[in-house]
Amino acid sequence: MGYAALAVLAREAGEPSLVAFYGIVLWTAAPVFLLYLRAVRRDEPIPLARLLLWAVVFRLCGLAGGPFFEDDFYRYLWDGYRFATTGTPYGVAPEAFFLDMSVPPALRSVLDQVNNPDLPTIYGPTTQVLFLLGHWIEASNVAVLQALLIAADLAAIALLLRLAPARNVLLYAWCPLVVKEVAFTAHPDGLGVCLLLAAVVLASRRRDGWAAACLGLAVGAKVFALLLVPLVLIRGRLRHWCIFAATLAVPYGPFLVAGATDLDTLLVFAREWEFNSAVFGLLAAVVPPTIAKLALAAAFGVFWLWYYRQYRGAGGDVPRGDWVYGVFLLVAPVINAWYLLWLLPFAVVHPSRWAWTASVAVLLSYITGLHLGNYEMQAYAQPWWVRPMEFGAILIAFLIDCVRRQRARGAAGATDA
């Protein structure tokens, strides 16, 4: 009922009200968490057929509703057109085509809505293949991209079922953030997540060659995947790293030869953009942003090296991607809601209160001047209370996790004694 209502609101003129959106988020999140807790406490299985049936139904609601609170999909459609007509979506900013009369009328209306038109595209070559496929199926139709990404997301659910019990996978399959960001809004991170999960599953079955190939494609989809490459290939040999490098070169090679990729705009993004940040926002208030970025990058590097040593010694099959991406986002200058798509699959394998609280709390990032209709604020500025509420909820959940973990260790030690 909640997702159907959201689909109706998404199809109406203008954006859904924030009150209605957050009401639906709570309406759809509460039964998921309660059903999971009930299944854990009673040690009951979740029927697989029902899990998959409703996962499909919720995503079909997103397909029927379409994007809201986001306009990135116009860039996806434009990139698909550029790729199909010129052989590359890179190197030329959309604003260069504003006076180009050769652009078809349907694509001209798309071009007029592209955000940051002064910058070339930021999306990786693996993702660009998806945009190209969508253009070939039906140009300027975001529903095609939604359908393709829903298929990738359902494949991700199937992969998670190989790593965790169905009651854990329920948390991801029915998660409001996942349904909103993939099925409704068509964020292409879902493709990279699917490829990363495929690599994790393959590596856990000692098929490191295929895992390396999937990792190359995942990094080609989004650079986030690079953070887990050494962990997934921790048992890999030199030939597996060569397979990874070769697979990554396949999508990037032609564009490097042509002279432009997504890397230039990625550097602009890393250098200039800030939105909904946590630790970075606090640190940048007292030191220059460049110093803050360097200090936090160094801190993350220390954490990553520490975890790499821990994971290598433990010899596990599934790395703590929830820790790696959680700490990375904690220090990042930008935390968009769909970035949680990289973290949540690993919170299926290792459930925690903080991760699933974050899946709801991070949606508060949509409270901006643009969506409030407050013309005295900048479009992506947030009211002062949003970040304390968002990150405060996550911090409280994290502290509860720590206390309960400490109590469990104490109880286990008393039992051993």
The pLDDT tens digits of the residues spanning 251-295 come to 999 999 888 999 989 999 988 999 999 999 999 999 999 999 999
Name the token pair of 164: 């965790």
Count of Cβ atoms closer than 10 Å to residue 353 Cβ: 18
Cα separation, 341 vs 181, whole angstroms = 8
Task: Judge contact between 279 and 331, C-beta under 8 A.
Answer: yes
Q: Considering Cα of 43, then 49, then 55, then 57, what sign does the dihedral take?
A: negative
Q: Which residues of the chain have pLDDT under 70?
A: 411-417
* Pairwise CA distance, residues 257 & 279, whole Å: 39
What pLDDT is attached to residue 317? Answer: 81
Give the per-residue pLDDT at 93: 95
By the 10 Å C-beta count (0-12 exposed, 13-18 middle, 19+ buried), 121 is classed as buried
Residue 415: per-residue pLDDT: 65
pLDDT for residue 140: 92
pLDDT score at 97 = 95
Q: What contacts 42, CB < 8 A, 6 or more positions away?
A: none
**Residue 206, by phi and psi: left (phi above 0), alpha (psi -120 to 50) or beta?**
left
372: Cα separation from own chain's centroid: 24
pLDDT of residue 413: 65
Q: Which long-range contacts (CB under 8 A, 24 or more apart) does 9-14 make?
A: 9/65, 9/68, 10/65, 10/66, 10/67, 10/68, 10/184, 11/64, 11/65, 11/66
Contact 204, 174 (CB under 8 A): no
